[in-house]
Amino acid sequence: MSGRVAVVTGGTRGIGAASADALRQQGYRVAVTYYANEQAAQNFTGRTGIPAFRFDAANTAQCVAGVKKIVEALGPIEVLVNNAGITRDAMLHKMTSEQWNEVIQTNLTSCFNLCNVVVGPMRERGFGRIINIGSINGQTGQLGQTAYAAAKAGMHGFTVALAREGAARGVTANLIAPGYIDTDLVRTVPPEELVRIRTRIPVGRLGRADEIARAVTFLASDKAGFITGSTLTINGGQHMY
């Protein structure tokens, strides 16, 4: 049993919820963050007992205040899973600056905000695990997702640079790039498009959130101490390199 404190942003649904619950089952003291969906947060906490803290991960001041509350409640943060993310799909010639900024802020700037607050104390203690949740579309691109793909690709560069900075201080940083996972977000895709997506996945199905969560728990563990600056692709073979 770990007993370490882990925080999962955007942790009340989908991959975030599965990761938070998996960490809890491994003995971590877990907190999740959320911003928009109060009902989902209440349902998640009621089901798992994991406390949910509401603040906007894209807002620097709110992150500072929110992390302070988590530390006061649970103790120093030793594992951070940056999972908060949104899509605002539009072809670039139709995309507004508001759509672009919202996606970049929520998906990429949130990584800076959270890491900026927690990485200093991690370095001082000589231990830290930072796990960023990217996307296959940050590797391959996707129609209508220039902003989303840019943000997720940016997370890759952010991760490898942070890995170099933290390695000598016991702080690892890795990225997981999921493919199409059976979550609420993917279920909004039209059925005929989902059929086409499945035909492009060699294993012939969508992924499951718990399959991503198992990778999160491994990268958070002591056993993964020699892994840093890596991207773990979990996509059923849809993108291989």
Residues serving a catalytic function are 148
Burial class, 176, CB count within 10 angstroms (exposed 0-12 / middle 13-18 / buried 19+)? buried
Distance CA 47, CA 219 (A): 25
Number of neighbours of residue 136 by Cβ within 10 angstroms: 22
Amino acid letter, residue 31? A
Q: Using CA of residue 46, residue 78, residue 134, residue 65, what is the dihedral sign?
A: positive
Distance CA 235, CA 201 (A): 8
Please give the backbone phi and psi of residue 178, each rounded to the nearest 5 degrees, phi first: -70, 150
